[in-house]
Chains A and B, each alone.
Chain A
Amino acid sequence: MKVAENGVLTAKLKKYNLLLLLAFFVIIASILSPRFLTFQNFFNLLQQSAIVGIVAVGMTFVILTGGIDLSVGSHVAFAGMISSIFSKNLGLGVFPSFVLAILCGAIFGSLTGFFITTFRIPAFITTLAMMTSLRGLALLVTNGKPIFGLSDAFRKLGAGFVFDVIPISGLVWIVITVLAFLLLKYLPFGRKFYAIGGNESAAYLSGIRTKYITTAAYTISGALSAFAGVMLASWLSTGQPNAGSAMELDAIASVVIGGTSLSGGVGGVLGTFGGVMLLTIISNILNLVGVPSYFQQIVKGIIILLALIGNNLLTQRKN
């Protein structure tokens, strides 16, 4: 009987270990700074996390199918650039500019999916190609120059607040996460991402149109990355062709820390939300302690590794 109880315990630890990790770092942070545990700081954290958070939601869909999307950072830059151009240079309204930019992201994402499913090129390579091409495109549209001076309306999405305190970007991130959660859990469409990542050939033989669903995952990733790109441009009030570089790494790290299996089929967006928060809190702590930014990258890498090792140690069954 004792054995069975141990099994339940490890299952519980596995389920809640992300929360434990979060609690651990929150405690450290609040010891280091009394201001950490305030609403104001919580909203700051939300705003800082929102952009990579939205990218990570899209990344979760892709990783659930067993794929990977390295092109998200370039999507962010390209969407930021063209939404700025639509709005500032072509005089389109803010809303149509945003929608068009997101639509472009979706189209490029579906193109990625098309190449992966039709020509059977590994996702790693296809999205690597998309990453460099889109980055080139983002640089090309203005010959590498940033676009400054966006309108106040444009700035609302990324830098605006509700009731002067709650960041709109953070709210949007939460809404997107909840919608993605509901889609993945309560729509047949959502369960199919899990099926493909769990076992593609079993999914195919079970009548799931694997090409269509896989393409959908990259389309969602492209669209959400573009959304994040628009939000970043809005926050910075600048279209930056170099925006979002290396963002794929943060997004992938968050998804994996959040418990989604890199081989696909297991995980979800709620974990991803926690993973993103965790990384942001760690950055916060490093800033509070005053670690110089180059060191921060090293320390962050080490902490990600340690977190995952701890994760495995906690959950691995001893044989």
Chain B
Amino acid sequence: MEDQILRMTNISKSFPGVKALDNVDFSVRRGEVRCLAGANGAGKSTLMKILSGAYHMDSGSIIFNDKEVINPDTRYCRNIGIAVIYQELSLIDSMSVAENIFLNNYKHEKKANVINWKYLENNAGKLLKDFNISVAPSVLVRNLSMGHRQLIEILKAIAIDAKLIVMDEPSSTLSKEEFEALLRIIKVLKNKGITIIYISHRLEELFMIGDSITVLRDGKHEFTGEISTITQNDLVRLMIGHNVIPFMKKTSTKQQETAIRLENVSTSSIKNIDMEIKKSEIRGIYGLVGSGRTEVLRAIYGVDKLQEGAVYYSGSKINFQKPYDAIKHGIGLLPENRKTQGLIIVHPVWENAVLVSFNKFLKNFILSYKRIFSEVRTYKDRLAIKTPSLTTKVSSLSGGNQQKVIIAKWLIRDCKILLVDEPTQGIDVGAKAEIYGILEDLASKGKTIIIVSSELDELLAVANSISVMYEGKLIKTFESDELNVEKIQECALTGRIDQ
């Protein structure tokens, strides 16, 4: 029998109204890198939360390191060597790297209750050196890039002698270089005999990182096997049960009238941007993290102040001071972060959906809830938003459905221009295809869409043309007949176009 560090058997877990996990078996060999894949709502996070002690299972058993784990809490799981690194990092911005690594874990100290700062920094320094991370232990976490923060989070797990590290979507905010650093560190961890469970929506990554893979679907175990035995297409089929819609060649919108034009626009983080976007066009904006792609949207939307230049909208110059002005002119934003910027998570579906269009539902100056609900219901059906009811809090919807609620919000407002920032981050393949379908449909009905993404595949799937940003400058806009993966990638990485 092989040496298994973790054996979870017959795990079941229900939430009110949903069976999140149904008799799932999940075992991992010591020292392997196991990928865990599945569409949103497949049960990956629930399974990992049970493993970390954050949730209690309804039935089943967990054997970790040859010992049965009974009724664990998070602290207990941490002590026996299970560390989970969540998408939202748990670092404290105002503390140094060293203090973060050893936070609430001063067992290396000789004197129990006194912190020896020098000792702490030396230890942190050793760890950083071991993993070849060029960060000083005394630097405040606030000053680190996302990639480095991710690595510090991993060191934190190593500092508590974790035997098993779960990484939940570690790469969603990483640049290519940062991802490579992560890859390197995972190799080092593996050599030290540490087991890793890796969760990601980026399928190609799983093939670069994993030894083996487990796929969950609708709370059930679907597949476990060596990763070399399957292809990416197999994986997608396992995850969603059918093939994804292949992307179609885009038509040119050059003949259309201009919807919005940026002339020499500069803000504190972008420089001299010229851009012209037509009616019915879906314009992609591509670039590395920090290239200024989001900031272009912020400039149009009136969040960032223009230092020079101007935005022309349906022929006239506009000067938006705040989002309120942009919305009045029919411009809507789907922000990068659904939960912290796009939605009011504690409010129900209907209220989020009408947040920008209350005035549309006034009858004698009073809100007509009848009209609100019938309108929201219409859009719920049109966009196929899966929710138990319109009064359900959006916090309990899946990512894809949350994003659809935000789209509904701007459609109810009847926006002419949609600014879309990373619309499918953390959303499963099936819902992604649906969202692309919605965006294409909107464009074909005359709306203009500007979409920012860190995934080129996504832009190639929906956009008519793609503008590439590099260090705050617009390098080139690739029209529909020039779309070419290698050229666009090269342009985004180097900031140059080779003819």
Q: Is the CB of A188 within 8 A of B358?
A: yes
- Complex interface: chain B residues within 8 A of A133 (CB): none
> How near does chain B come to A315, taking the closest CB pair, in angstroms?
13
Contacting residue for A208 out of B324, B359, B366, CB 8 A: B324
Q: Is the CB of B56 within 8 A of A207?
A: no
Q: Is the CB of B16 within 8 A of A207?
A: no
A204 adjacent to chain B (CB < 8 Å): yes
Closest-by-CB residue of A relative to B16 is: A7
Q: Is the CB of B344 within 8 A of A186?
A: no
B328 adjacent to chain A (CB < 8 Å): yes
- Complex interface: chain B residues within 8 A of A194 (CB): 344, 347, 351
Q: Is the CB of A209 within 8 A of B17?
A: no
Main secondary structure of the interface of B (DSSP, over half): mixed
Q: Is the CB of A207 within 8 A of B15?
A: no
Contacting residue for A4 out of B16, B342, B355, CB 8 A: B16
Choose, from B143-151, B333-341, B461-469, the stretch at the interface: B333-341
Q: Is the CB of A201 within 8 A of B327?
A: no
A3-B16, A188-B362 are contacts. A319–B345 as well, Cβ < 8 Å?
no
Closest-by-CB residue of B relative to A8 is: B16
B367 adjacent to chain A (CB < 8 Å): yes
Q: Is the CB of A195 within 8 A of B355?
A: yes
B343 adjacent to chain A (CB < 8 Å): yes
- Measured CA separation A187–B362 after assembly (Å): 8
B185 adjacent to chain A (CB < 8 Å): no
Q: Which residues from 263 to 312 on chain B have a C-beta closer than 8 Å to any C-beta of chain A?
A: 301, 303
Q: Is the CB of A209 within 8 A of B322?
A: yes
- Measured CA separation A308–B327 after assembly (Å): 41
Q: Is the CB of B335 within 8 A of A205?
A: yes
> How near does chain A come to B403, taking the closest CB pair, in angstroms?
14
Closest-by-CB residue of A relative to B356 is: A206
- Measured CA separation A209–B326 after assembly (Å): 12
- Complex interface: chain A residues within 8 A of B341 (CB): 199, 201-202, 205
Closest-by-CB residue of B relative to A212 is: B324
Q: Is the CB of B17 within 8 A of A3?
A: yes
- Measured CA separation A92–B448 after assembly (Å): 62
Q: Is the CB of A188 within 8 A of B17?
A: no
Contacting residue for B327 out of A195, A206, A266, A319, CB 8 A: A206
- Measured CA separation A206–B340 after assembly (Å): 12
- Measured CA separation A191–B14 after assembly (Å): 34
A265-B344, A265-B347 are contacts. A206–B323 as well, Cβ < 8 Å?
yes
Q: Is the CB of B16 within 8 A of A6?
A: yes
- Complex interface: chain A residues within 8 A of B322 (CB): 204, 207, 209
Q: Is the CB of B346 within 8 A of A204?
A: no
Q: Is the CB of A188 within 8 A of B367?
A: yes
- Measured CA separation A185–B366 after assembly (Å): 9
B55 adjacent to chain A (CB < 8 Å): yes
Q: Is the CB of B346 within 8 A of A205?
A: no
- Complex interface: chain B residues within 8 A of A319 (CB): 54-56
Q: Which residues from 182 to 226 on chain A have a C-beta closer than 8 Å to any C-beta of chain B?
A: 185-188, 191, 194-195, 198-199, 201-209
> How near does chain B come to A5, taking the closest CB pair, in angstroms?
9
- Complex interface: chain A residues within 8 A of B362 (CB): 188
B365 adjacent to chain A (CB < 8 Å): yes
Interface centre among A202, A204, A208 (most CB of B within 10 A): A202
Query: Could you give, for residues 1-33 of chain B, a 1 whenever the CB lies within 8 Å of some chain A CB and a 0 otherwise?
Result: 000000000000011110000000000000000
Closest-by-CB residue of B relative to A200 is: B344
- Measured CA separation A203–B322 after assembly (Å): 12
- Complex interface: chain A residues within 8 A of B15 (CB): 3
Q: Is the CB of B345 within 8 A of A198?
A: yes
Q: Is the CB of B366 within 8 A of A187?
A: yes
- Measured CA separation A199–B342 after assembly (Å): 9
A4-B17, A199-B345, A205-B303 are contacts. A187–B365 as well, Cβ < 8 Å?
yes
- Measured CA separation A199–B347 after assembly (Å): 10
Q: Which residues from 342 to 393 on chain B have a C-beta closer than 8 Å to any C-beta of chain A?
A: 342-347, 351, 355-356, 358-359, 362, 365-367
Contacting residue for A207 out of B324, B343, B344, CB 8 A: B324
Contacting residue for A201 out of B54, B324, B340, B366, CB 8 A: B340
A205-B303, A207-B323, A319-B56 are contacts. A199–B359 as well, Cβ < 8 Å?
no
Q: Is the CB of A199 within 8 A of B343?
A: yes
Q: Is the CB of A3 within 8 A of B324?
A: no
Q: Which residues from 1 to 44 on chain A have a C-beta closer than 8 Å to any C-beta of chain B?
A: 3-4, 6-7
- Measured CA separation A177–B343 after assembly (Å): 29
> How near does chain A come to B183, taking the closest CB pair, in angstroms?
34
Q: Is the CB of A205 within 8 A of B333?
A: yes
Interface centre among A185, A195, A207, A319 (most CB of B within 10 A): A207
- Measured CA separation A191–B347 after assembly (Å): 11
Q: Which residues from 292 to 317 on chain A have a C-beta closer than 8 Å to any C-beta of chain B?
A: 317
- Measured CA separation A185–B372 after assembly (Å): 13
Q: Is the CB of A198 within 8 A of B327?
A: no
A3-B14, A195-B344 are contacts. A187–B367 as well, Cβ < 8 Å?
yes
> How near does chain B come to A182, taking the closest CB pair, in angstroms?
8
Q: List 12 A-B contacts (CB under 8 A).
A: A187-B365, A187-B367, A188-B359, A188-B367, A194-B344, A198-B345, A199-B340, A201-B340, A202-B342, A205-B335, A207-B326, A265-B347
Q: Which 8 A-B pairs have the closest CB atoms?
A: A7-B16, A188-B358, A198-B344, A207-B327, A207-B324, A199-B344, A4-B17, A186-B366
Additional 12 contacts, C-beta under 8 A, given A188-B367, A199-B343 = A185-B367, A194-B344, A198-B344, A198-B346, A202-B342, A205-B333, A205-B335, A206-B355, A208-B324, A265-B346, A319-B54, A319-B56
